Amino acid sequence: MKRIETLDTRDLAQSAKDGGCGECQTSCQSACKTSCGVANQQCEKCCSED
């Protein structure tokens, strides 16, 4: 595509089918403790596949 470049991303719709194992980290256990963000959490399945 001449004018559009698409980054390689996880397909969220697909993750509705293959996600949800619940083994991932609980957000607040990491560093923030005063806000909620899940974007910076890693998928436990993706980590173990790497």
Residues that bind other proteins (CB under 8 A): 1-13, 15-16, 18-20, 22-44, 46-47, 50
Sign of CA dihedral 20, 30, 40, 33: positive
Please, what is the minimum distance in Å from the beta carbon of residue 14 to other proteins? Answer: 9
Q: Could you tell me the smallest distance in angstroms from the CB atom of residue 17 to other proteins?
A: 9
Question: Is residue 17 a contact partner of residue 28, using CB atoms and an 8 Å limit?
Answer: no
Taking alpha carbons only, the member of 34, 15, 38 closest to residue 25 is: 38
Tell me how far, at minimum, the Cβ of 38 lies from other proteins, in Å.
5
